[in-house]
Chains A and B, each alone.
Chain A
Amino acid sequence: MKILAVCGMGFGSSLMLKMTIERVINKQGITADVESADLGTAEGMGADLILTNNEFVSQLEGGKSVVKAVKNVASEDEVAEAIQAFLDEQ
C-alpha cells in the first residue's frame, strides 16, 4: 500500500502529516510506503490513499487514489481513523 501526504507546497503540513502517518502505521504494524508531495505532483505518484487537508480534497479527487481529509495533521487518532476507513472500504 502506498500512502501519500499532500499539501500546497509539499514542504510543511504534508511533511508533518507524513510523520504522523509513519507513527500510526508503526504502532499498528501496517506495512505501507509513505511519501509526501505538493499538489502539482501528487497525481502522478500512484498512491492508493491520499491524505490531505480539507482545502485540497476536491482538487485531488477524481483520480485513481482514494482521497481523505485530515483536519489536524499532527493527530494520530484522526490519521488512524482515515487509514482504517480506507482499509474497511477495500
Chain B
Amino acid sequence: MSNAIFNEASVQWKRSAEDWQEAVRVSAGPLLQQGKITDDYVQAMITNIIELGPYIIIAPDVALPHARPEQGVNEKGIAITVFQQPVQFGEQSVRILICLAASDKETHLNLLQIISSWIGEDGLSQSMIATESRDELIHLLKNYFIEGEEI
C-alpha cells in the first residue's frame, strides 16, 4: 500500500465515461487499487449522489466525489481524473473529478483545505482541462503531490 496521499499513481487522464456513475467509479479506481478505499465506499459515493443530488460539484467543471470516513476508508488519499469529454451530472457537466477519501474528520478538513487552495487558484482547473495526455497532466500536477505524513 502506498503511503502517499496524492502522487503520480493517483492521476488519470481519460477520453470519456458512459455516464456519471461510471465516471465516479473510474475516479475512485486508483484509491481502490491502492487499497485505500473499499468497494462499499465507491457504492456509497454513488448512492449519496442519487439520494442527495449532485452536491459534489464544487466549482465550474470540477466535482469532488466523496463519502464519509466510516463508509469504507482504509487510508487517506486523493485521486484526480480529467475527462476529455464532459461528464453530465443532471444539468451540469464537469471535466475534473477529484475523488477524496479521508480516514477521519480532522483529515477530511485538512484535505478539503488543500483541495480548496487548488480550486481557488486562478487557472489551475482550466490548465488541467487543457492537458492532452496523462503525462502532461502529471507534469502540471507534480508540484501539488502530497507524500505520506505531511498532514
Give the interface of A toward B (CB within 8 A): 7-9, 11-13, 15-16, 19-20, 38-39, 53-56, 71-76
Contacts and interface: CB of A to CB of B under 8 A. Distances in A.
B35 interface: no
B29 to A, nearest CB: 20
B116 to A, nearest CB: 4
A13 B116 CA distance: 9
A12 B120 contact: no
B120 A9 contact: no
A73 B55 contact: no
Contacts of A38: 52
Contact of A55 (B60, B90, B113, B120): B90
Interface string B48-69: 1000111111111010101010
A7 B55 CA distance: 6
